[in-house]
Chain A
């Protein structure tokens, strides 16, 4: 692919509601691990989590009334996107050239309200599915459906920032954020948009996600997995447009790849995706000097992932494994959070980074980023 410029970053993590706050906390060695307040960990092994405490998205909403239509992921997405747009120097307003694509693993269906509505229905009511459905919906606010639709993060980002260009949502679990970045880069490369806000927004701190993690053994004492949440949005821009307005270019999206694995074949798929991303970026493995691996949190995968990276990159590339403290694992946002932190890291001397995410279902995504110190090599 032709490289796409990154001209702004927005970040919301359990260590800070901005890129600057998060970097400061990381620099001070702080960890986000704490006992949860958003979810009752009873029955889940007394797990610690990485939770964004006292998160208030209101200041970032042009129309605060819209907050009642938003869930946690949507609020995180809007805040991170607003920050990225501001950092890129894009003025909020009706903009036909500004696209949005957010990746997330899905909403929590407003579990408590849904459970309450179900509890008020006679047990044998489910025999008549039409009547049952009507009875459930009667017990839910009319806003319920709007709040839980998976495209709401992308929608509300567009509404609040006036982004009237292409709009899409990626829902591939833990790889969603990176695949959103890949989709946005494709749009720009194809001339379908000049600028796109792309990234991931997600939370594991809801009953469905937490129960899923528990069922997969991720909350067991030896799993070293810290459930988290957060959002990271990148402002992506066509290089010609970025140069024309004298934008500060933070980095480049140089290549992308993704695939889905058959059962039990995650390792081979990871290897294939890594190689495909390098090919798309026209890089050789020797050129990579930073790898961020969001697959290390998967049970039983750490050793295999380590071997795959070792065979390709040896000890030339620093590897950062996400999933544990200090930030925890933000599911669909994990990959883009890693990308944002890497791009903003002024202390680490990397020039070419490969950010990798894996989902327990077998989807793998990788995005190659080039540091902004130099223009990427011509294709």
Chain B
């Protein structure tokens, strides 16, 4: 799955596949813009046969509902991604800052969870 996501992201952003590391931010490291996320979302939907609400791309990592849920989600991410360059992000992050956290790994994590959920829902 990681290789498929890498190929999609690399092609959509016109970057070498080697640059799409697990922790590379699509926005901060790979130059993704809002239109690129629409493109990547569609390509992933087509590749994996699912429909993804736009806000779900990184749900499961950080719940943007309230400042408290954002803080809790970020604390969880910091523990799981200690090598991520957290210093380049604002000290107090808002929902608008969260897309900067989207990496190849967050996409893979979402897909794994989503496909497991779909398989469970479809099981007789």
Which A residues lie at the B interface, using CB under 8 A? 64-65, 67-69, 141-143, 146
Contact = CB atoms under 8 A, between A and B. Distances in A.
B14 A143 contact: no
A65 B14 CA distance: 5
A67 B38 CA distance: 16
Interface of B: 12-14, 31, 35-36, 38-39, 41-43
Contacts of A141: 39, 42-43
B38 A68 contact: no
B13 A143 contact: no
A142 B39 contact: yes
B7 to A, nearest CB: 14
Given A64-B14, A65-B14, A68-B12, A143 B31 contact: no
Contacts of B13: 65
Contacts of B41: 142
B14 A142 contact: no
Nearest to B12: A68
Nearest to B38: A142
A64 B36 CA distance: 13
A67 B41 CA distance: 18
A56 to B, nearest CB: 14
B14 A67 contact: yes
A142 B34 CA distance: 12
Contact of B35 (A64, A67, A143): A143
A69 B13 CA distance: 12
A68 B12 CA distance: 8
Contacts of A142: 35, 38-39, 41-42
A64 B12 CA distance: 11
18 contacts: A65-B13, A65-B31, A65-B36, A67-B14, A68-B14, A68-B39, A69-B35, A141-B39, A141-B43, A142-B35, A142-B38, A142-B39, A142-B41, A142-B42, A143-B35, A143-B39, A143-B42, A146-B35
